[in-house]
Amino acid sequence: MLVDDLSVIIISTLVSGSIYTLMVIGLTMIFETIQYFNFAHGTYFTYGAYFIWYLINITKINYLIAILLLFPAAFILGYASQKYIIQSLVNREASHLVLILATFCIGSVIESVILLIFGGRLKRLPYPFEGYIKFGGATMSYHKLLIFITSIMLLVIFTLVLYKTKRGTAMRAIAQEREASYLVGIDVRNIYAITVGLSAVLACVGGWLMGCLLFMTPAFGGDILWKGFIVCTLGGRKAGMRGSVFASYLVAFIETTLMRYIPMYNVPPILFAIVIISLLIRPEGIFVKGSR
Amino acid sequence: MDELLECIEISKFFGDFAALNNVSFSVNEGSIFGIAGPNGAGKTTLFNVITCNPFPPSSGKVVFEGEEIQKLKPYEIVHKGIARTFQIPVVFYNLNYLKSVMVGSIYGTLTNLKQNVFGYSRNRYEKNALQALELVGLTSKRNDLTVHASLYDLKLLMIASAIATKPKLLFLDEPVSGLTDHEIELIWALILKLHKESDITMVIIEHIMKFLMNISDDVMVLNFGEVICRGIPRNVANDEEVIKCYLGEEFKDVFEKMKIR
Amino acid sequence: MKVKKLFAPLIIICLIMFIPLLFPNPFLMHLLISIFLFGLVCESWDLSMGYLGLFNFGHLAFFAIGAYSSGMLALYYGISPWITMIVSSIITFILGLLISLVTLRASEFAFSLISFAFQSMFMHWVRSGGGPAPGEFGMGGATLTGGTQGLGAKFSIPPFQLGPIIIRAGANKIPAYYLTAIIFVIVTYAMYILVNSRFGLAAVALRDSKTYAISRGINPLTYTAIFISISTFFAGMAGSLYAHLMGVVGPEIIGWSNVVIMCCIVEFGGLGTIFGPAAASFLLISLTYYLAGLSAYKNIIIALIMLFTLLIWPTGMAGAASWFKSRYLNRKIWEKRRGGV
């Protein structure tokens, strides 16, 4: 019994953790480089799911092509909102509040537009791969496996971009020292926009994958965003990529374990309590790279 | 003269990088202590860790009036009697001159919330702030908005709000950087006046040797986070290491010509 | 005080007091009551958002807690609404204090997150009903909070009562209007005094340059927490007022679209001013009534208004007013100001 439980918990942790990772990596990237939390990130999630839905149900495009089209569409969404809207606010005084409000607005607009176009009724995307795989007494659907593999792949690709490409190095440079980056000739605004674009891609892919698993509503990205914020708070502001990934899987694990043994209704308050406790004990976050 | 401030083996690490490495010195009451050194030597970091704003030292002790303060909160240290100015001017953009200084006069002297709620009299703190403004010569501009202020005014405001906290020890971080020659003369005259008229002990970071050597009772030179020389100005200015790292060979005999004591 | 300075506020107060006599239109009364109530919420939100520069995502939770706690105490235990209003304001004060003390030690972002989580938690609990209602109210399976139908759906929340006069936004709205208007004027004045006091000075100093403020002796945790608690105090008061005037309160009062509207009011009015959100409340609440039929478009329009304010005219209505004043009334060359007043 316990082994069954354990395998279910592990699978759910992998799935949830992967989704949270997709969500949180983008958030962390934006926070470290441009220093704001993108409250519109949840709506990118929603956008990804509805974009695919629109393509395969309204314009009847092949599923695979729709998925391929998602990447540029997501990138453009993130890139454009950063470059044309947020950029003008980055150097304002009290920028941290102003940027939160601005992304809040953008998120609101996107969500309302999606609600307007698609209505509030629940929708669902078809699985790209049907079927199950059995191992060690546990069954895992191909889709869940896909979620895990996709998130690992995207994580690896993203890390490669960050460490091996010129643009990625520029992103890391700006995260460390913005002024100096200007001085060495990095086009900071462009890199900002690319950062948001890339994180939007991660979020939209997450949205598509979740849209197959859960019912889609215009607001479902918001729920995942909230979990993403919990991960960020637990992980700490300066957790970096590694810390964020660990924190995502940790939160997923805690949540899944709790859900197994406690009615679903009570899980959010307990998660909430855990975050409060961790804030009391270690305010700077659990996975922070320390300085003495 | 008693030791007002004593720093014992102060170190500050950022990861593996030692911004400060076993820096020790002491400041006598009523004196002026000068700190010099190349850019990046750790001078501002030293001010940061002594006032614990924004971070305390990684190791070492700071003893002020016989009491160890390195573990106190930054605002508690202000209440003990240490005030500082900043190298890059900090401004309260939405306040006017008077209110900016009043922040110092009110919150620099009220040590706890109870004092703030009971027995508070606005007039007293406003008078203190006006006195501080008068000391720096900004009385006529007291209702002007700081958002329009010139660099010179901003530096004066920082000094005024520091004085308004009624400190025993004042840290000045490059008080004249970025100013015109005329403004530099004015601020140095102000600093001398402050020192003559009140009991404030001062620690000054400065690059302009003519002034620093002239008015300091003791001087310390930092390089790469370490003390390379410490003592009276004449000795420091003639120190081989200091000349090699910082002053330059041309300075060697200029000392005599500048008639510095 | 100089008479000239009192001139404008006095005119406005007279206007407010005489409107019901000139235009006793019940719809107008109801609109103005909404304007004053939401104006109170937005002004208090501006205390934490504008003056402190912290995004208090969960501010409206305190409005809801004020409404529900006051409503429940009065409905189930028969306590006079005048007393429950004070009690629930104190409750929200203490809750605001606790949350800010706990979370601000970590970071301001933690504060935003936890206050939002707190709001979600509370609304979650409200929607679930929270168990059976006490005593005879629990018969027939009625829940403590009324669930999604709302508190006071079956048995109305008791109204305020002044001797024989029942104050309710029901048939005769005039007493309700006066109560709301008087409280609005008093609270607005109280906030005006607060922000011009040394506590307001500390808040603005912390917002403008936290390092500088700390270096002049301000304890950031204490003064931020106090300021936030005061803002939640007033939010709770507004909530309680709402509950007893309307007689019923449901979870949709702090649904997402209302949150966006109120955030927009604060922003459009001008962050960091008191009278800005008050004035913007007039404009925008009226606008939402006008757009009531087109709910999805309403959200988009409000969000776009907020976005344009941020991008193009960040000082909001208050900034526009002072620009106008300095340009035409004082005959000074307009000088651009940063941020709020």
CB contacts of A291 in chain B (<8 Å) are 13-15
CB contacts of A88 in chain C (<8 Å) are 311
User: Is B74 exposed, middle or buried, given 0-12, 13-18 or 19+ CB atoms closer than 10 A?
Assistant: buried
d(CA B98, CA B143): 6
What's the domain count of chain A?
A: 1
Q: If you count residue pairs, one on A and one on C, with CB atoms under 8 Å apart, how many are there?
A: 111
d(CA C215, CA B87): 13
Length of chain A, please?
Answer: 292
β-partners of residue C157 are none
Chains in contact with chain A (at least 3 beta-carbon pairs closer than 8 A): B, C
Across the interface, of A89, A279, A285, the residue whose CB is closest to C103 is A279
- The pLDDT > 70 percentage for chain C reads 94
Residue in the block written with tokens 């403020």: C213
d(CA A115, CA A219): 9
CB contact under 8 A, A279 and C106: yes
What is the pLDDT at residue A239?
64
Supply the pTM of this predicted model. 0.88
CB A232, CB C110: distance < 8 Å: no
If you average pLDDT over every residue of chain C, what do you get? 86
d(CA A172, CA A187): 13
Q: What is the largest CA-CA distance in chain B?
A: 61
d(CA A221, CA B35): 56
CB contact under 8 A, C300 and A37: no
Most confident listed range (B201-210, C139-148, C185-194, C288-297)? C185-194
Rounded to the nearest 5°, which phi and psi values hold at B205?
Answer: -95, 130
pLDDT bin (cut points 50, 70, 90) of residue C171 is confident
Length of chain C, please?
Answer: 341
The domain limits of chain C are 24-134+142-254, 256-341
Across the interface, of C198, C204, C220, the residue whose CB is closest to B92 is C204
> What's the Cα-to-Cα distance from C271 to each of A96, B71, C93, C205, C226, rounded to whole Å?
14, 37, 22, 15, 19
The H or E element that residue B21 is part of is: strand B17-28
pLDDT(C170) > 90: no
Architecture of the domain spanning B1-81+167-261: 3-Layer(aba) Sandwich (3.40)
A286 within some domain:
no
Length of chain B, please?
Answer: 261
A residues 98..137 contacting C (CB < 8 A): 98, 100-102, 104-106, 108-109, 111-113, 115-116
CB contact under 8 A, A291 and B93: no
Q: Is A93 on the interface with B (CB under 8 A)?
A: yes
The SS3 call for residue B90 is coil
Q: Would strands B3-14 and B59-64 be described as parallel, antiparallel, or unpaired? A: antiparallel
pLDDT(B50) > 50: yes
pLDDT tens, residue by residue, A171-207: 888 888 888 888 888 888 899 999 999 999 999 999 9
If you average pLDDT over every residue of chain B, what do you get? 89
What is the pLDDT at residue C332?
40
Residue in the block written with tokens 């308050």: A269
The domain limits of chain B are 1-81+167-261, 90-165
CB contacts of B98 in chain C (<8 Å) are none
Across the interface, of B13, B14, B93, the residue whose CB is closest to A93 is B93
CB contacts of A292 in chain B (<8 Å) are 13, 15, 58
What is the pLDDT at residue C1?
47
Residue A200 maps to which CATH number? 1.10.3470
Q: Name residues whose C-beta falls within 8 Å of residue C324's C-beta, 6 or more positions apart in sequence.
A: none
Give strand ranges (E) for B42-187.
Answer: 59-64, 67-68, 82-84, 169-173
CB contact under 8 A, B104 and C198: no
A287 within some domain:
no
Chains in contact with chain B (at least 3 beta-carbon pairs closer than 8 A): A, C
pLDDT tens, residue by residue, A68-90: 999 999 999 999 999 998 888 88
d(CA C167, CA C137): 23
CB C187, CB C234: distance < 8 Å: yes
**Residue from B95, B92, B82 nearest B27 by CA:** B82
pLDDT bin (cut points 50, 70, 90) of residue C88 is very high
Q: Enter the tokens of residue C214.
A: 């700390």
Q: Name residues whose C-beta falls within 8 Å of residue B188's C-beta, 6 or more positions apart in sequence.
A: B176, B211, B215
